[in-house]
A and B are shown apart, each in its own frame.
Chain A
């Protein structure tokens, strides 16, 4: 072995040494300096997931508030806002949960916060309580009349419009504009207090519409049809929407 090395010219040995140093350098860099997650896709995924999992939580979650704010929690539990998470109105509160005395969550006092949900919008589902902020006690903060934790109306609504704004608006432009809601829907008084469990009636017979729209009835200037020949097997509202513009 030694004899073989001696036989090699010096420049060859130098080249070999340089090569060995380079190889050792590459080996050290690859094995010890490049982190394993850059070499193996599975580990790359996992290290990325780890970084993602380490991010800061800002919303504490629905379970966090109850233990300390028992009073508000119990009031809210029974009201219309029972399904609302505290942080929907009070904002992200993880910092407050970690340090209750120094960091306080926000508490919206002004009119505009409530209107995110309760301003009338024709795309909102019917039956969702909506108001027109321009006509509904302008400039008065909502919380003077409504307790946000249990937002009952201060007095029972006098008119149907309070909740059924969309129907009221379409009806106002229809031929039925002058008819009150109670002409067709008989409404138990209790509907105002528990709107979802006690519901008003809807006309369920052809004869009900026939009271005005049958040829035989004495109505004046009302479009009338022969109830026996017209759309016999259908109830009227299956084709005609009574609240609709133009009453088609």
Chain B
């Protein structure tokens, strides 16, 4: 190694090793899955409250597809039952995926209105969870999905605290933060997220916001939509139709 090479390497050493090994980000992006290009998509979900029957199949399918612990309280997606009484009191309860713990099925006394609200990570455009992560383990992909790098996450739970929608939990086995990924491994293969796949009433609609002809395009065109906690400026990409004002 001569002096010139040595100095060159010292310069490279001080700057970063970004292009070492000939792997530029563009080349790497192509390796995610076959010819899938994240920059060409931008995903969102629509949920029609008037269609949800509260069967909990989405919750079960999500647990199966993503190996979420099969006990209550660990959910990537869940369904809340709202009961509003004539005295305007609101009761909210997450429904169960098993029939052993049945929801109260009778007409409740003094019930004004009642409905189910499916919830999941809102895949915010301005995600608070990404801001607070001290090690940069959670990030937004080019196709608009918020992911957690399991290898980098230190399990400090900041993001769980920061999420205004309660969409994250600490995985009891891996001890890192876990959340809905819109079934990212299915998206790259052109499949729908598992919850959308099994929903018997098409209460969940999934699509690409960059394409006008996607089911989500029609959903946002035909419905008056709303997002959860709009005042927080998180810009969620999960849109609700026929949402009640009591839902937060």
**Interface residues in chain A, defined as those with a beta carbon under 8 Å from any beta carbon in chain B:** 26-27, 30-31, 34, 36, 39-59, 61-62, 81, 83-85, 87-88, 91-92, 112, 115-117, 119-125, 128, 132, 166, 169-170
Question: Nearest 8 pairs between A and B by C-beta?
Answer: A48-B149, A55-B185, A123-B114, A46-B28, A40-B18, A117-B55, A88-B198, A53-B188
Which residues of B have CB within 8 Å of A88?
A: 57, 198-200
Task: Indicate if B111 sits at the interface (CB-CB under 8 A).
Answer: yes
Contacts of A58 in B (CB 8 A): 64-65, 194
B151: chain A residues at CB < 8 Å are 48, 51
Q: Cβ of A59: which chain B residues have Cβ within 8 Å of it?
A: 61, 64-65, 186, 191, 194, 197-198
The residue of chain B having its C-beta at the shortest distance from the C-beta of A64 within the complex is B191
* Shortest distance between the CB of B150 and any CB in chain A (Å): 7
Known pairs A40-B16, A123-B81, A124-B53 / 6 extra A-B pairs, C-beta < 8 Å: A45-B149, A48-B152, A53-B32, A92-B194, A123-B103, A125-B53
- Interface stretch among B19-27, B121-129, B219-227, B233-241? B19-27
CB <8 Å contact, B53 and A117: yes
B residues near A (Cβ < 8 Å) are: 9, 12-13, 16-18, 20-21, 23, 25, 28-29, 31-33, 36, 38, 50-57, 61, 64-66, 81-83, 99, 102-103, 105-108, 111, 114-116, 136, 139, 141, 147, 149-152, 181, 184-186, 188-189, 191-192, 194, 197-202
Question: Does B184 contact A119, Cβ atoms closer than 8 Å?
Answer: no
Is A49 within 8 A of B184, CB to CB? yes
For B188, give the chain A residue with the smallest CB separation: A53
Question: Distance in Å from the Cβ of A63 to the closest Cβ of chain B?
Answer: 9
Residues of A within 8 A of B184 (CB): 49, 52-53, 55
Please give me the residue from chain A that is nearest to B33 by CB atom: A53
Evaluate contact between B17 and A46: CB separation under 8 angstroms. Answer: no
Residues of chain A with a CB closer than 8 A to B108's CB: 122
- Complex Cα spacing A8 to B52, Å: 84
**Inter-chain contacts of B201 with A (CB < 8 A):** 83, 128
Is B188 in contact with A122, judged by CB distance below 8 angstroms? Answer: no
Find out whether the CB atom of A62 lies under 8 angstroms from the CB atom of B197: yes
What are 13 sample pairs from A and B whose C-beta atoms fall under 8 A apart? Answer: A31-B9, A40-B16, A42-B18, A42-B25, A49-B32, A53-B33, A57-B185, A58-B194, A59-B194, A83-B200, A92-B194, A117-B55, A124-B54
Within 8 Å by CB of B32, from A36, A46, A122, lies A46
With contacts A45-B139, A57-B189, A88-B200 taken as known, whether A170 is within 8 angstroms of B107 at the C-beta atoms is yes
Nearest-Cβ distance from residue B48 to partner chain A, whole angstroms = 10
Q: Provide the residues of chain A in CB contact with B106, threshold 8 Å.
A: 122
A125 to B242, CA, bound (A): 12
Q: Known contacts being A83-B200, A123-B116, is A116 close to B28, with CB within 8 Å?
A: no
On whether the beta carbons of B105 and A116 are closer than 8 Å, the reply is: no
Q: How far, in angstroms, from A43 to B33 measured CA to CA in the complex?
A: 15
Is the beta-carbon distance between B181 and A52 smaller than 8 angstroms?
A: yes
A84 near B9: Cβ-Cβ < 8 Å: no
- Smallest CB separation, B51 vs chain A (Å): 7
CA distance A41 to B18 in the complex (A): 9
Q: How far is the CB of B99 from chain A (nearest CB, A)?
A: 5
B-chain residues with CB within 8 Å of residue A119 when the two chains form the complex: 102, 105
- Residue numbers in B under 8 Å from A45 (CB-CB): 139, 141, 149
Determine if B192 and A36 form an interchain contact, defined as CB atoms under 8 angstroms apart: no
The answer, among A43, A87, A128, for a CB contact under 8 Å with B197, is: A87
Pairwise interchain contact B17-A39, C-beta atoms closer than 8 A: yes
The reply to whether A116 and B99 contact each other, CB–CB distance below 8 Å, is: yes
Q: Which of B17, B33, B139, B184 neighbours the largest number of chain A CB atoms within 10 Å of its CB?
A: B17
Shortest distance from the beta carbon of B195 to any chain A beta carbon, whole Å: 10
Q: Decide yes or no: A31 and B32 within 8 Å by CB, A57-B185, A123-B115 being known contacts.
A: no
Q: Is the CB of B136 within 8 A of A41?
A: yes
Residue of A nearest to B152 (CB): A44
**Smallest CB–CB gap between A39 and chain B, Å?**
5
Contact of B50 among A31, A44, A112, A125 (CB under 8 A): A125
CB distance from B130 to the nearest CB of A (A): 11
Closest residue to B192 on the A side, CB-wise?
Answer: A61
**Bound state CA distance, A225 and B17, in angstroms?**
87
Instruction: State how many angstroms separate the Cβ of A53 from the closest Cβ of chain B.
Output: 4
B56 with A36: CB separation less than 8 A: no
Residues of chain A contacted by B197 (CB below 8 angstroms): 59, 61-62, 85, 87
